[in-house]
Chain A
Amino acid sequence: MENNSWPTWEVFTQKKSGAPFEHAGSVKAADKEMALLNARDVYSRRNEAINLWVVLTDNITASTPEDMGPFFDPANDKMYRSPNFYKTPDGIKQIN
């Protein structure tokens, strides 16, 4: 079997209800159903996730290292963009 003929899929896992999906890694699979089963076997075999997303890697558009300056620098000098000055109750972890 030619392993290389199967496309790569990116796997996202959700650890608990309401939590964000996080990138876990990638799998090889012939189609989306197989990708989902493979993702379950590779990234959630010990109950690590309650939900899975798989996305064909080719369908992800990513920023490049050359974009780094124009994309991200302008945010650095504007503190008012961040909600750091709001008072939040103790024990709140999800806001930052």
Chain B
Amino acid sequence: MNTNEAIYEYCLRLGDTSLILAHRLSELCGHGPILEEDIAMQNIALDLVGQSRIILSYAAQIEGKGKTEDDLAYLRDAFSYRNLLMAEQPNTDFAHTMVRQFFMSAYQYFLYTHLHNSADETIKGFAQKSLKETIYHLRHSTDWILRLGDGTDESNMRTQGAVDELQQFIDDLFDADEVDAILLQQKIGADMEQIKKAWHEKVKEVFALAKIKWEPANGGTRKGSRRGIHTEYLGYILAEMQWLQRVYPGNQW
């Protein structure tokens, strides 16, 4: 694998993760618990679509086959998608939505902090822009984890349930492979071991304050997003997201 092939894969991972997470949040448009929170979640979704657009455009450019970010978003099947498994997990209830967001925003926060100094100018610019947005996303979801975890018996139970269920997708976040190794060596990518360490410290600190029990399984949980092996949910997301372009190819509005 040469450097350009590695950058292409890497950009798909970054872009697809933001896109699929944005889509999950967009499903809640008009269904937020209160108007203010509805707007907050859609603001985050729009930020994530913006991130995805930048980095998928770059992926299309690197690939050099004359495609656009829309071609990559709307015309790839699930096995070609590289989003993290965590991002595609369903909303279920508000606790699941916020725990997923907290895990993802903390991940993106530490990842973008490292990519901030990338030797690749586009990835560097992407990380710098995205980091500002992510700081806010992390503040928002952290705030909710504290409220829900240290709230009522019901909110604590639901938050604990979401944490216990979603923790099976944590190993997938840090499952570095050849792509990461090539880009780390070229100072383009990030050291996943460092991000993993920082992420665990942050999560542990917040859950302690939020009175959430945190004993993540050490290995043996689900992985595979970097090879396009997804949970059952991604196919349904793509069916909804892509149907218009599939039925009316090239249609614009």
Contacts and interface: CB of A to CB of B under 8 A. Distances in A.
Most chain B Cβ neighbours within 10 Å, of A1, A6, A27, A41: A41
A42 interface: yes
Contacts of A45: 39, 43
B34 A37 contact: no
A41 B33 contact: no
B34 A41 contact: no
B204 interface: no
A28 B36 contact: yes
Interface string B13-43: 0000000000000000000011111011001
Contacts of A28: 34-36
B40 A41 contact: yes
Given A30-B147, A41-B43, A42-B39, A6 B34 contact: yes
Given A41-B39, A41-B40, A45-B43, A3 B140 contact: no
A29 B40 CA distance: 13
Interface of A: 1, 3, 6, 27-30, 33-34, 37-38, 40-42, 45
Given A1-B34, A28-B35, A34-B147, 18 more contacts: A1-B33, A3-B33, A3-B34, A6-B34, A27-B36, A28-B34, A28-B36, A30-B147, A37-B139, A37-B140, A38-B36, A40-B136, A41-B36, A41-B39, A41-B40, A42-B35, A42-B36, A45-B43
